[in-house]
Each structure stands twice: as structure tokens, then as C-alpha cells.
Amino acid sequence: MSGLKAIEIVGGGLAGLSLGLALRREGVPVTLFEAGSYPRHRVCGEFITGLSPATVERLGLAPVLADARHHREVAWFIDGQPARVQQLPAPALGLSRFALDARLAAAFDAAGGELRTDTRVTDDTPRAGRVFANGRRRGRSPWLGLKIHALDLSLERDLELHLGDEVYVGLARVEDNRVNVCGLFRRRQLAAPGAELLLRYLDAAGLPALAARLRAARFDPASFSAVAAVCFDPSVPTAARVQLGDACAMIPPFTGNGMAMAFQSAETALGPLLAYSRGRSDWRAAGALIAARLRRRFRVRLASARLLHPYLLQRPRQRLLAVLARARLLPFRSFYSLLH
């Protein structure tokens, strides 16, 4: 027996797995409950911006990210026309969730964590030692996320971001010469199987040239995934209920920062959870500290992303963006630092 108090984690996405791994590296007994299994494809643009080497080091993520692609430039397209190429202040990482989540799960398992897959926790009562990392909160929402991997598709730059009528779509390279195609769409009355649904959404959103380009590509049909009810309202973590990653707050996906936030929330929670596990703090004090630190760490980027989001989705505002971008009047660097 280690003499350390155990931690139970609900949800084995990036926040839950990275926290579990980091706690195991400190010898804490951890049980993690995951409703699904690994590996599996998930709706995600699969590029990570704003993840610092310090967070990677603290959580022990270097081995799982070692072969991630490094993206340095983003080509923006508005109304199907090139608007601007943005240099990223720090490289974004490109790796599929199929690989990333499975690698983290294997690392957690190898570190002695108890991983219970295909186990959905139905009692969501907060209690001492229990951490919620169970992803975005579901609610009524007009948004739909769709993703698929294209094979052997050439890109203008490492990343492409296309803005259409109430939609934005990212194209990002991941491993094995795959290109992640992922978009956030306002829901419409459209129905089709797999990739065809995404292509019809692109046509309906005024992006027929992108749809035609993708129609000429090969897809991995098994990688298709869809998610409805994407909600961006932050929840209010309390002292008793420790919530990390999307369960705490979901940032709009155009930022490419949701995955980094999942890791950073695990990093933020690590110290107070270790203090609890070692008997140096009670659960309420640990929970209150985590909630306060999360609020401080994410407040500015969440508010900034919420302000900018409509500019990426609504036609008149996109046109203003396009004019400013082409005139080189958009402060991409300032936006980047506000959003990360």
C-alpha cells in the first residue's frame, strides 16, 4: 500500500488520460472509467496549438507526441478565395486522436493505472477523490461537427482554414500522409452517409470548390465521425466538483486550443490533487484551488474566442475579415496570444 489516497477519473479523453498518467508517475492509485474504448476516431481537427514544452514535460507526454507533425503556416480562405497565410508563433502539432488517445491509454496502463473501458459512469454525484473529465456538456445547440481523413491530398500549407456560410473547415496533416478534414457547421436538413454528408454541407455552405477538390480525393471511411449538440457555454466548476477539459469549458475549435486546454487543465489540477492524495489538503480545499486556477488560466482566451467566433461564421463579418487580412491589417499575433 502506498498510503496515498486514490483518485477516480470519469472520462478517458485527453484531460482524463493525461491527468491519470501524471498522477501515476507520482505513485497515486488511479482508476479511470471510460465509456468507449481505444483506438477510435473522434471529431477533432487534430492540430494542437499553444501546448508548451513545460506542460508536455510535467505530464510526461513527450513519448506520445514524439512523431507528431509540426505545422508552421496556416492558409486562410474566405468565400473560396485565399485571404492570407499566417505564420504561427510556435509550431502546432498534428496527430490523429486515433493514435493519440490510444497511446495515452497504453501509457496510463503501463504506468499501473486501472483503466476500465466500455464503462459509462451513470451516477455523476461529486465526491472526494472523484474528477470529472467526461468531455463537452451536451445541450441544445445549432452546431454539428464532422470529420474524416483524406488520403494523399495535397495542401497549400501545413494547415488550411476555409470559412463559408456559417461553417469553418480545417484541413490538417496528421500521421501516415493523412489529411484531417474537420468542420463546424450550422445544422441543415441534409442527409447522406459518411463523407458525402460532409461534402454536401460544404456545397450548401458556398464552398463548392473545396467540395470538388475533396470529391477527387480518397477517404478512409472508417475515420468518419460526427458529433451534434456542440455547446460552448463554460460550466461553473465548484469546490466539490472538479471538472477538467471540455467538462470545464469548451473553446471554439477554430483556435486549435481545446486539446491543449485539456492537457493544461490536467496540469493545473495536478498539484492540488497530489496534495489531497498525500493528505496535505482536504477535498474541498483542493477543488476550490483547482477551480480558481482554471478560471484564471482560461478566462481571457475563452472570452476572446467567444468574441471572435461570429467573425469566422457570418458572411458580412467574414468579408470584413477578408478585406483586413488582404490589407495586412489583421493583428494575427495579438489574436494568437489572446487565444492561447
Ligand X SMILES: Cc1cc2nc3c(=O)[nH]c(=O)nc-3n(C[C@H](O)[C@H](O)[C@H](O)COP(=O)(O)OP(=O)(O)OC[C@H]3O[C@@H](n4cnc5c(N)ncnc54)[C@H](O)[C@@H]3O)c2cc1C
> Where does this chain bind ligand X (CB under 6 A)?
10-16, 33-36, 43-48, 120-121, 133-135, 145, 182, 184, 227, 230, 245-247, 250, 253, 256-260, 262
CA angle centred on 263, ends 93 and 330, rounded to 5° = 55
Closer by beta carbon to ligand X, 241 or else 281? 241
- Specify whether the CB–CB gap between 141 and 230 falls below 8 A: yes
Q: Are strands 130-132 and 7-10 parallel, antiparallel or unpaired?
A: parallel
Give the gyration radius of the chain's Cα atoms: 20
Smallest distance from the beta carbon of 227 to ligand X, in angstroms?
6
Give the nearer residue to ligand X in terms of CB position, either 28 or 93: 93
State the nearest-atom distance from the C-beta of 22 to ligand X, in Å: 14
Nearer to ligand X, 205 or 281 (CB): 205
For residues 296 and 49, the answer to whether their CB atoms sit within 8 Å is: no
Q: Which is nearer to ligand X, 222 or 320 (CB)?
A: 222
Give whichever of 281 and 313 is closer to ligand X, judged by the CB atom.
Answer: 313
CA distances, 182 to each of 24, 29, 196 (Å): 33, 37, 13
Q: For residue 233, count other CB atoms closer than 10 A to its CB.
A: 12
Nearer to ligand X, 59 or 281 (CB): 59
Report the side by side order of strands in the sheet with 7-10. 114-116, 30-33, 7-10, 130-132, 242-243
Nearer to ligand X, 10 or 270 (CB): 10
Instruction: Provide the β-strand partners of residue 218.
Output: 151
312: nearest Cα among 146, 141, 156, 185? 185
We find the least distance from the C-beta atom of residue 289 to ligand X, in angstroms, to be 20
- In order of 262, 294, 304, the CA distances from 265 in angstroms are 5, 7, 18
Could you give the CA distance from residue 51 to residue 261 in angstroms, rounded to a whole number? Answer: 8
